[in-house]
Amino acid sequence: MDSSATPLPPSSPRKRPREAQLLVHERFLSRGLQGCRDIAVWLPPGYGVSRRRHPVIYFQDGQNIFDPLTAFLGNAWLAGHKATALIQRGAIVPPIMVGIYNTGFNRVNEYTPTRAEFDGWDGEKCTSTGDAKRYARIVVQELKPFIDARYLTQPGPQTTSVVGSSMGGLVSLYFGLWHPRVFGAVAALSPSVWWDNRVTLRDFARSRRKPAFRLWLDIGTAEPGWEVMPLFRDTLLNRGWVLGKNLAYRKIPGGEHTEAAWAARLGPVLRFLVGRPTAKPKPKKGPPKRRASKQA
């Protein structure tokens, strides 16, 4: 982390802000990664008023998460608007959301766990350097402490989660696999588990113990290679995940591999990550039991 970086200042409790805010730390520089990247930080309504601390959700491909002006083809997830609506309904605990921008040309290298060939956009063969482990380590060792030092976060694993789609979903799975003591929940939307001859299925199958994180997993049936996802789901079930308990699995009929499709699924994802527990209905009271009379 570059100590000379000059991010936009976080909100001050003296200003008593009530509206949600989107701040940008420009050109965050890491000691362990190539190049700089912007970090977007969304603060929920009322942040700083009572000094309450908030769970934190980290997003891969951060330029696509909040603002159409920075999103791919203008198709932002509008995460701030959707979180605000859920907060107003009391459906989620107000989170701090952090968007980690990708670096464009280096995205595939940082988001893939192994060195492997893949087809580029122009049809030519390319080779990834498989830098996901280093990227995840930098997020854990440099970016997360940076965020925790500047904002009112709840830094523990039960209140720290990570979200990604496509290759971002793939690397998010490995965030959980490699750092379950940091990330207590992962949401992988349409993750590229086909990567390197389905190496992710093998990595999760041979892990020595089941990582202790909750997992959201989804896929659209109009996405290339979607048939691999049921196999990955079954791998997780065999390793100890339980549907409806620590694993949510969604198959979306006709769902496509687009930012718009992932944005449409964000509400349920947020409820999975930071949703408020629903109150269990109280059992109905029956008529009072009559005491048996003693015989004379």
User: How much is the average pLDDT of 59-85?
Assistant: 96
pLDDT digits (tens, 9 = 90+) for 7-24: 444 444 445 557 999 999
User: How much is the average pLDDT of 149-156?
Assistant: 98
CA 122, distance to chain mean position in Å, is 30
Question: Whole-structure pTM over 0.95, yes or no?
Answer: no
Token pair for residue 138? 């930098």
Domains of the chain, CATH where assigned: 13-274 (3.40.50.1820)
Q: What is the pLDDT of residue 219?
A: 98
Q: How far is CA 137 from CA 47, 132, 144, 230, in A?
A: 28, 8, 10, 29
pLDDT digits (tens, 9 = 90+) for 253-275: 999 999 999 999 999 999 999 99
In contact, 53 and 148? CB cutoff 8 Å: no
The percent helix, strand, coil of the chain (3-state, each to 5) is 35, 20, 45
Percentage of the chain lying above the pLDDT 90 cut: 77
Following DSSP, what letter does each residue of 148-178 receive, concatenated? Answer: HHHS-B--SGGGEEEEEETHHHHHHHHHHHH
User: How much is the average pLDDT of 195-209?
Assistant: 94
